[in-house]
Amino acid sequence: MKKRFQPDWRVHILEEIDPERLRMRGIKGAILDIDNTLVPPHTPVADERAKQFVKRLQDAGLKVCIVSNNIYERAQRFSNSLQIPFVCDGTKPNAGPFYKAMDLLGQAPEHIVVIGDQVFTDVWGGNRMGMMTVLVDPICQDENRLIKWKRCMEKFVLKGYRNE
């Protein structure tokens, strides 16, 4: 049960993710979450920090796409600001959005990393697909009740976690 919810790598901020380290591990594609991973929730388009992170991934040779549980308009507007493809209404952790992302990236699961801020959507979804997972601390702590409850459960699941 532990592996299902344990990320392969855990970081506090996006800038701690080394694209070259990912590439050296055979990673060729990256699936990114939007809210509280790349930008604070409800930020309509990518800010400079998100753009620089995506550029670093691309400069390392990784193909990049968004997988979001957001509605089409939100995901499209955000992804357009980065000029990368997207999958929306993702229903993460279900397999469907991850299969669509695999097609967009043209990569097998073992060559894809999922980078997100939630254990029960991003990490669980990526792990069940056989993808590498990176859990990023959420950017903003001002979240709705459901997310706050999930964060409490995440602490329990991650207790004793150690980075590789």
Q: What values do phi and psi take at 41, rounded to 5?
A: -55, 145
- Give the integer Cα–Cα distance in Å for 27 and 76: 25
- Give the integer Cα–Cα distance in Å for 61 and 68: 22
- Give the integer Cα–Cα distance in Å for 124 and 109: 14
pLDDT for position 80: 97
Could you tell me which residue, 163 or 19, shows the higher pLDDT? 19
- Spacing of C-alpha 13 from chain mean position: 12
- Give the integer Cα–Cα distance in Å for 29 and 152: 30
Between the alpha carbon of residue 82 and those of residues 70, 85, 111, 112, 122, the distances in Å are: 16, 9, 22, 19, 20
Query: How much is the pTM?
Result: 0.89
pLDDT bucket at 153, cuts 50 / 70 / 90: low
Inform me whether the pLDDT recorded for 139 exceeds 50.
yes
Structure tokens at 68: 């979001």
pLDDT bucket at 4, cuts 50 / 70 / 90: confident
Mean pLDDT over 92-96 rounds to 94
> DSSP state, 132?
E
Inform me whether the pLDDT recorded for 65 exceeds 70.
yes
- Give the integer Cα–Cα distance in Å for 64 and 28: 9
